[in-house]
Amino acid sequence: MKNREAIIEKIDAIETELIELGNKIHSKPELSFEEYNAVENIITTLGKHGFNIKKGIGELETAFRGEYTGKGNGPTLAFLAEYDALPEIGHGCGHNLIATMAVGAAIGLKEVAENINGNIVVLGTPAEEGGGGKIIMLENGCFDDIDYALMMHPCVNNLILRGGLATQGIRIEYYGKSVHSSFPEGGINALQAVIQTFNMIDQFRGLFPPIKTNVNGIITDGGRAANIIPDYAACEFSVRAATVKDLNMVMEYIEHIISTVEKLIGVKANIEKKV
Ligand SMILES: [Zn+2]
């Protein structure tokens, strides 16, 4: 039997086990860096199929490496498994399926390991909805000996090489001066600064690099009582662009907007960049 057929046959043979794994991860959504149950379920499956497991790699408790050492000198191929979920939504974009597909692909490929040279790895990469697990793993050497890394992401269409976007999170806190709204003079309204930030970002949208630039935000703190001018307000934005160059250009606009808002409203801003 040819390698390809043998791989497909193996994956078909473990279909029930794979679907169960996907369902288990889905039924207990865990947030970034807290994916303990997902990891246990995945490594149990990989262990059962002869993969050696190393947990807690790259200084991340919920990162792991499952490895099957093949014969000969060949490349080390890694299938990447994501498994974190979103707050309140759960597995919105199917990271449970990413993990399941990585496990299925690795076990399928292992079936023909005797015929090919090289090693098969499943890298468990936590915190992809936020936290940049892969970046931390990369910086801590988890990809040093990996020759190829492959990942599948669920989508409504079949695509190969959708490509990625450059992304940056930013949290902006504004500090003003609180006064009672019956005597508003002398107050510095931090919420006004947040509102201006949203409005000014909208004003500048027309100047952002047009392809795939995307800036979205939420207000996380907007004051505590309607009759008090808020001395503190904060917002967060998720910035995406086609390239790092485009992203930096958009970030420059946003930083310019923040310093303009400081001057306009009289607030002091604190900026925290997030992955
Ligand atoms: Zn996703």
Number of CB atoms found within 10 A of residue 60's CB: 20
Confidence (pLDDT) at 274: 85
Confidence (pLDDT) at 223: 95
Ligand 1 centroid to residue 195 C-alpha, Å: 30
- Rounded Cα–Cα distance for residues 47 and 70 (Å): 16
Res. 162 pLDDT band, cuts 50 70 90: low
Ligand 1 centroid to residue 97 C-alpha, Å: 10
- The predicted-structure confidence for 204-220, as pLDDT tens digits, reads as follows 999 999 888 999 999 99
Res. 27 pLDDT band, cuts 50 70 90: very high
Ligand 1 centroid to residue 223 C-alpha, Å: 33
- The predicted-structure confidence for 98-156, as pLDDT tens digits, reads as follows 999 999 999 999 999 988 899 999 999 999 988 999 999 999 999 999 999 999 988 88
Ligand 1 centroid to residue 83 C-alpha, Å: 9
Q: Is the pLDDT of residue 158 over 90?
A: no
Q: What average pLDDT does the chain have? A: 94
Confidence (pLDDT) at 208: 93
Mean pLDDT of 231-259: 96
Ligand 1 centroid to residue 74 C-alpha, Å: 30
Mean pLDDT of 71-90: 93
Ligand 1 centroid to residue 91 C-alpha, Å: 9
Ligand 1 centroid to residue 101 C-alpha, Å: 13
Q: Is the pLDDT of residue 241 over 80?
A: yes
Spatial CB neighbours of 96, under 8 Å, sequence gap ≥ 6: 22, 23, 25, 26, 38, 83, 85
